[in-house]
A and B are shown apart, each in its own frame.
Chain A
Amino acid sequence: DIQMTQSPSTLSTSVGDRVTITCRASQTISSWLAWYQQKPGRAPKLLINKASSLQSGVPSRFSGSGSGTEFTLTISSLQPEDFATYYCQQYNTYPYTFGQGTQLEIK
């Protein structure tokens, strides 16, 4: 199975900050990577697919980049509603696998 490793696991940050989350795959996945946002008690929400394609309705402060084994999710200016847990997922090879998550906390 492909292992997905996110860093950091937790990030203490403030409104207005620029935030970058990294996701590394244990083998190449081309650009078949998605990013999801999950708030407590809610289902995950797709933010970005194919590494850098913003899902319809997602604010433009979210962006994704990378290919192969290294990927990043960037939030250009953190808003109060962005405090949540973020997951990456590869969908290049079965079984599809998720990262362990990155929780954004209020500093």
Chain B
Amino acid sequence: QVTLRESGPALVKPTQTLTLTCTFSGFSLSTSGMCVSWIRQPPGKALEWLARIDWDDDKYYSTSLETRLTISKDTSKNQVILTMTNMDPVDTGTYFCARYTGVGALDYWGQGTLVTVSS
């Protein structure tokens, strides 16, 4: 059974760095073809793809956010970490992690974690 769960602070101040952790089970990020993506959703708005990390440590980022994002993995802990620097109130939203298997798109999602950026 595949599960993913996001964790991190619910509130961050402007200019701070956000660190989110995706802890997963039911698959391994050392298995060829396995990947994990981060996606976010501002309140009442559409989904926005942020980043992806692959089993071979290849990494891909949103064009508009790539200077602020870093994605990494700890295979031994079954975790993927996303950091986003210089947080702003417009970054407020629910952050999801999801598994990606190529052909299968984003087939399993975490429940999401709401991050509010406010002083």
Same complex for A and B? Answer yes
- Whose C-beta in chain B lies nearest to the C-beta of A42? B111
Say whether B63 contacts A87, CB under 8 Å: no
A99: B residues at CB distance < 8 A: 46
Contact of B107 among A49, A87, A97, A101 (CB under 8 A): A49
Q: What residues on A are CB-neighbors of B49 within 8 Å?
A: 89, 95-98
Distance (whole angstroms) from the CB of B59 to the closest CB of chain A: 10
A1-B63, A43-B112 are contacts. A49–B104 as well, Cβ < 8 Å? yes
Within 8 A of B (CB), among A47-91: 49-50, 53, 55, 87, 89, 91
Give the residues from 2 to 46 in chain B that come closer than 8 angstroms, CB to CB, to chain A: 37, 39, 46
- Judge whether B61 and A89 touch: CB under 8 Å: no
Please state if B105 and A46 are interface contacts (CB–CB under 8 Å).
yes
B71-119 residues with Cβ-Cβ distance < 8 A to A are 96, 98, 100, 103-107, 109-112
Q: Is there contact, CB below 8 Å, between A43 and B96?
A: yes
Q: Does B57 contact A (CB under 8 A)?
A: no
Which size bracket describes the interface of B in this complex?
20 to 34
- Residues of chain B lying within 8 A (CB to CB) of residue A98: 39, 46-49
For the complex, what is the distance from the CA of A94 to the CA of B96, rounded to whole Å? Answer: 18
A44 on interface, CB distance cutoff 8 Å: yes
In the complex the two chains form, what is the Cα distance from A55 to B104 in whole Å?
8
A50:B48 contact, CB within 8 angstroms:
no
Quick check: is A34 within 8 A (CB to CB) of the other chain?
Answer: yes
Most chain A C-beta atoms within 10 Å of own C-beta, residue among B52, B98, B106:
B106
Beta-carbon nearest neighbor of A85 in chain B: B46
Binding site for B on A (CB under 8 A): 1, 34, 36, 38, 42-46, 49-50, 53, 55, 87, 89, 91, 94-101
What are 5 A-B residue pairs whose CB atoms fall within 8 Å in the complex?
A46-B104, A49-B103, A95-B60, A95-B61, A98-B47
Q: Considering the complex of A and B, which 6 residue pairs feature the smallest CB-CB distances, nearest first?
A: A34-B105, A43-B109, A49-B105, A98-B47, A96-B49, A94-B60
